[in-house]
């Protein structure tokens, strides 16, 4: 058995196991004992938690909270709504669609860690939404839809599938003439970097004109270790491009220091910050919510102009009608007849000419 398989077989998902890593508070104990939702983490990720800090940013992401039973802002049956599963287009359960040329291909509903803030929690954490993961049916559907250019392989965590299964999905997708790009969404480079084995690198790293991109999810600098850095290097040196999709989470990364450090440290280990997601209106995750303006403020106050532009993610909210950018809007203050007035992150102003038909006004 490889190390990553051992980690999955021995997931920390009982009070007894968790006690090996943290001193559980009475509140946490009660939340764990009364939850009906799936919870758990890899031993590796658990080992990064501060034993005595109930506000530890990794702990808050993986240990159930009593607040999960509350719901003020979440939409019931959120995933069906968000992924347009009840719409007119009949699709296999594995296919979620918001765009004409891209789809999400959901191939599994298990994860390395069961994030308490997950927007797919109905499928992954609460297990109230049961889907049929018929991969061949999904592949046939993708083949029949030649308007598609890109497939996002997601879950759950698709890198938990065995190497030969991943190889099969990639090979079948690459046989479809209209598929130009394959993307993976996986938290494993962060929560189980041991998964990036020589075998997996061989599967992902074959040169092909259809490239593979991988977006992971890292929400706090504390999640980044030497093992993560090596896993990312392994992916990059196999030809897989790696980006990050952080989620803005109250009490975890919504303060200036944590936010800047996260994005700088991602660059240090060669991960390009890609998205910062505003938390979606899934039920039972209100305790992680911030005001919508918060992400733009953090980008304005800690990233834009304060550190490398490479560290800047695009701040968006993913909705049932696609992603909507929420970036800070300080750049165009005014459009006059002859010039724009632009503002930088310090509130300083400058001007640029208004161009009409390729000529200055
Ligand atoms: S790894 Fe992704 S799909 Fe799994 S629980 Fe976390 S956010 Fe949800």
Q: Tens digit of pLDDT for each residue in 265-321?
A: 999 999 999 999 999 999 999 999 999 999 999 999 999 889 898 999 999 999 988
Q: Residue 347 — very low, low, confident or very high, per pLDDT cuts 50/70/90?
A: confident
Ligand 1, atom nearest to 112 Cα: 1
Tell how far the Cα of 192 is from the centroid of ligand 1, in angstroms. Answer: 13
Beta strands in the chain (DSSP E): 95-96, 102-106, 150-154, 181-185, 212-216, 241-247, 272-277, 314-319, 322-325, 332-335, 339-343, 349-353, 355-356, 359-360
117 Cβ closer than 6 Å to some ligand 1 atom? no
Tell how far the Cα of 112 is from the centroid of ligand 1, in angstroms. Answer: 8
Nearest alpha carbon, ligand 1 atom 7: 118
CATH no. for 70-325: 3.20.20.70
* Poorest-pLDDT segment among 299-303, 326-330, 355-359: 355-359
124 Cβ closer than 6 Å to some ligand 1 atom? yes
Q: Residue 137 — very low, low, confident or very high, per pLDDT cuts 50/70/90?
A: very high
Model confidence over 64-110: pLDDT tens digits?
A: 999 999 999 999 889 888 887 877 888 999 999 889 999 999 999 99
**Mutate-to-test residue for ligand 1 from 157, 215, 218, highest number of ligand atoms within 8 A of CB:** 157
Is this structure's pTM higher than 0.85?
Answer: yes
Q: Residues spanned by CATH 3.20.20.70 within the chain?
A: 70-325
The values of phi and psi at residue 356, to 5°, are -125, 125
Predicted confidence (pLDDT) at residue 330 exceeds the cutoff of 70: no
Tell how far the Cα of 270 is from the centroid of ligand 1, in angstroms. Answer: 22
Element (H, E) at 163: helix 163-174
190 Cβ closer than 6 Å to some ligand 1 atom? no
Tell how far the Cα of 88 is from the centroid of ligand 1, in angstroms. Answer: 28
């Amino acid at each position: 058995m490889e190390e990553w398989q051992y980690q999955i077989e021995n997931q920390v998902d009982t009070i007894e196991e968790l006690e090996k890593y943290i001193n559980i508070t009475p509140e946490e104990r009660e939340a764990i004992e009364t939850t009906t939702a799936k919870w758990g983490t890899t031993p590796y990720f658990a080992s990064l938690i501060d034993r005595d800090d109930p506000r530890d940013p990794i702990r808050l992401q993986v240990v159930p909270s009593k607040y999960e039973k509350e719901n003020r802002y979440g939409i019931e049956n959120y995933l069906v709504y968000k992924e347009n599963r009840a719409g007119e287009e009949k699709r296999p359960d594995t296919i979620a669609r918001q765009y004409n040329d891209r789809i999400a291909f959901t191939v599994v509903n298990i994860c390395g860690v069961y994030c308490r803030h997950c927007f797919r929690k109905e499928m992954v954490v609460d297990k109230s939404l049961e889907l049929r993961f018929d991969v061949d049916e999904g592949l046939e559907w993708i083949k029949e839809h030649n308007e598609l250019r890109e497939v996002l392989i997601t879950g759950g965590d698709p890198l938990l599938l065995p190497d030969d299964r991943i190889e099969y999905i990639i090979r079948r997708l690459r046989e479809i003439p209209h598929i130009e790009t394959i993307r993976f969404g996986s938290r494993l480079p962060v929560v189980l970097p041991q998964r990036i084995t020589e075998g997996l690198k061989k599967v992902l790293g074959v040169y092909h004109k259809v490239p593979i991109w991988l977006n992971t999810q890292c929400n706090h600098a504390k999640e980044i270790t030497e093992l993560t850095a090596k896993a990312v290097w392994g992916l990059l040196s196999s030809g897989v491009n790696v980006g990050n999709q952080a989620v803005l989470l109250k009490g975890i990364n919504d303060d200036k220091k944590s936010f800047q450090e996260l994005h700088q440290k991602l660059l240090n280990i060669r991960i390009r910050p890609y998205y910062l997601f505003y938390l979606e209106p899934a039920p039972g995750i209100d305790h992680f919510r911030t005001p919508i303006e918060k992400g733009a403020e953090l980008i304005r106050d800690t990233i834009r102009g304060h550190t490398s532009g490479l560290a800047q993610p695009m701040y968006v909210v993913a909705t049932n009608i696609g992603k909507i950018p929420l970036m800070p809007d300080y750049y165009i203050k005014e459009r006059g007849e002859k010039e724009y007035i632009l503002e930088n992150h310090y509130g300083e102003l400058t001007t640029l000419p208004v161009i009409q038909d390729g000529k200055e006004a």
